[in-house]
Chains A and B, each alone.
Chain A
Amino acid sequence: MSTLPQDRREHILTLALPVLLGVAVLGVWQVVTQAFSISPVLLPAPSDIVSSFDDIAGTLARNAWVTGSEALVAFFLSAILGVVAALVLTSSAVVFQAFYPHVVMFQIIPKIALAPLFVFWLGFDSPSRLSYSIFISFFPVALATMTGLNRADANALRLSRALTASRWQILFQVQVPYALPYFFSGLKIAATMSVIGIVVGEFISSKRGLGHYILYSQSHSETAHIFAAMVVLCIVGLIPYGIAIGGERLARKWWRG
């Protein structure tokens, strides 16, 4: 840490500039909507959005709990399933070659198109949304972990084998440390995907949750409520992402120590 004036100025600017920009955008937004008396259905002023929190705070909290808890469950399950699948599919070269292209393909195709099928198969309740969300969050974790486990340094692997390390020792002391950065980059994608999966499911099927509430507000021309729900959804969405980042820090510390 340096306390040179130049460095300190940079430090302050790095924090202050984004905040200033955010405040400026909100200010312009507020002034423009009022000066041109833009219909609140089209674009509510920031003050409208803030004051709408008073009316719908309870509703929002209830819906946020539904969406957030389902997204978290989907996030954890897809992380576990993704890692297990990656371990199984990298257990032998033949299995890896047989399945890797399929995992890549499933990662690429627009899986969003399958959402209506999950509703069709599993009904309008949370099982359909949960399984759809797990389905779309699973592939980033599985693919990234598979890639990582397979990228372990060949020399390190050969050395461990020459030193008669067991399969488990090689896995945990060579392959897993190599795979961790890959796993966490996949996990961060899964964090976003798990929320997207739940929200898309709620668009299609649900009677509860923030996704449903956003569609409901749109059909009632309550645009301020859409924005308010969106703010809450962003906060909810950052929870799994925060968990992924926290996990990455912990893992890094633990593996170094």
Chain B
Amino acid sequence: MRPGDGLGPKAAGAMAAIWRRIALFQRVLLPLAVAVVFILIWEYGTKLAKVSPLLFAPPSAVWKSLELSFPILVQQSLPTLKETLLGFALASLLGVTLGTALVLSKRVRQALYPHILLFQLIPKVALAPLFIVWLGIGPTSRLSFAVFMAFFPVVIATMTGLLSADRNIVRLCTSLTATPWQTFMSVRVPYAMPHLFAGLKIAVTMAIIGVIVGEFVTAQEGLGYIIMFASSADDTALVFAAIGMLCAVGLTLYGAVALVEMLIQRRLGVTITSSEF
């Protein structure tokens, strides 16, 4: 039972507005409160338990390290960001192209789809050393590895999405003498959007993972290199600072994809949303 039940319509409306505001506050404030409590426990827990700041740096030390090494962290996040963006863009382009080709030809789909599904399932991370054998330890190998990691989710999402269009609507368009191109653009593409963006969100995470694993293995530059370097130098404060930086990069890119999704959905008037995973 909500407060406001059994009141007059006007009072009930006002109560409902207040109730909505409380609900909004709860949705924003509760997670924030959890984060603050967690940080306080981390800060004072490590101090009370006398955990070595080398082993597990408290938030204040992480903040200090972030301030101190901010220029280096920014400088090192640039190659990571550049390779991630480029890898994601290439993977999306290639993935959407191949996904569309798979929808257009049934024979191509029959021949390729099981292989693509297999590649989606196998632990592709293990192939990172092979990219170094082929392309050296420079940015090219990290970029290609990122494309390789991010490509398959996009293919599968594009294909599933384009095939998910309501059959009755496709049939209706055909009987209304729409050309295949018109049907494709005005029915299949809008239907594909939620799937496509679910795939793109996975791909953006995968592209970062690809670049970071590449940086772990090649150890030349980038945030992944900083993380490896700092952890071998027993500097957990710097490790946390670099991870924080990387999370900021990751969440920004993910947010950008989600934003584009929202804009496109608003334009298309599609209300189906993709799930978060």
A: which residues have CB within 8 A of B? Answer: 13-14, 17-18, 20-22, 41-43, 94, 97-102, 104-105, 107-110, 112-117, 119-121, 140, 143-144, 147, 185-186, 189, 192, 195-196, 199-200, 203-204, 210-211, 214-215, 217-218, 221, 223, 226-227, 229-230, 233-234, 237-238, 241
Contacts and interface: CB of A to CB of B under 8 A. Distances in A.
B25 to A, nearest CB: 10
The 8 closest A-B pairs by CB, nearest first: A218-B129, A98-B30, A17-B111, A116-B231, A18-B114, A101-B31, A109-B247, A234-B122
Contacts of B223: 113
Contacts of B113: 18
Contact of A97 (B26, B111, B228, B254): B26
B220 to A, nearest CB: 16
Contact of B112 (A18, A98, A112, A189): A18
B62 interface: no
Nearest to B23: A97
A102 B123 contact: no
Given A18-B112, A98-B33, A121-B55, A110 B127 contact: no
A189 B55 contact: no
A204 B216 contact: yes
Contact of A226 (B35, B121, B130, B212): B130
Given A13-B107, A94-B30, A108 B236 contact: no
A22 B115 contact: yes
B205 A110 contact: yes
Given A107-B277, A113-B223, A94 B107 contact: no
22 contacts: A17-B110, A21-B111, A22-B115, A42-B133, A94-B30, A98-B31, A98-B34, A104-B276, A110-B250, A112-B209, A114-B243, A117-B243, A143-B276, A147-B275, A196-B123, A200-B125, A200-B216, A203-B216, A204-B216, A217-B129, A234-B122, A241-B121
A192 B202 CA distance: 14
Interface string B42-74: 000000000000011000000000000000000
B239 interface: yes
A211 B128 CA distance: 10
B231 A230 contact: no
A52 B267 CA distance: 56
A41 B133 contact: yes
Given A113-B242, A230-B126, A237-B122, 17 more contacts: A13-B110, A22-B115, A42-B134, A98-B31, A109-B246, A109-B250, A113-B243, A120-B236, A140-B277, A143-B276, A147-B275, A147-B277, A196-B125, A200-B125, A217-B129, A226-B130, A237-B123
Given A18-B112, A105-B251, A233 B122 contact: yes
A84 B242 CA distance: 31
B110 A18 contact: yes
Nearest to B31: A101
Given A109-B250, A199-B126, A233-B123, A18 B115 contact: yes
Contacts of A217: 129
Q: Which of A113, A203, A204 is most buried by chain B, counting CB atoms within 10 A of its CB? A: A113
A121 B56 contact: yes
B224 interface: yes
Given A203-B216, A238-B121, A108 B254 contact: yes
Contacts of B118: 234
Given A98-B31, A101-B31, A116-B227, A214 B129 contact: yes
B190 to A, nearest CB: 23
B132 interface: yes
B213 interface: yes
A110 B122 contact: no
A203 to B, nearest CB: 7
Contacts of A102: 31, 34-35
B167 to A, nearest CB: 18
Contacts of B236: 117, 120
B27 interface: yes
A33 B123 CA distance: 26
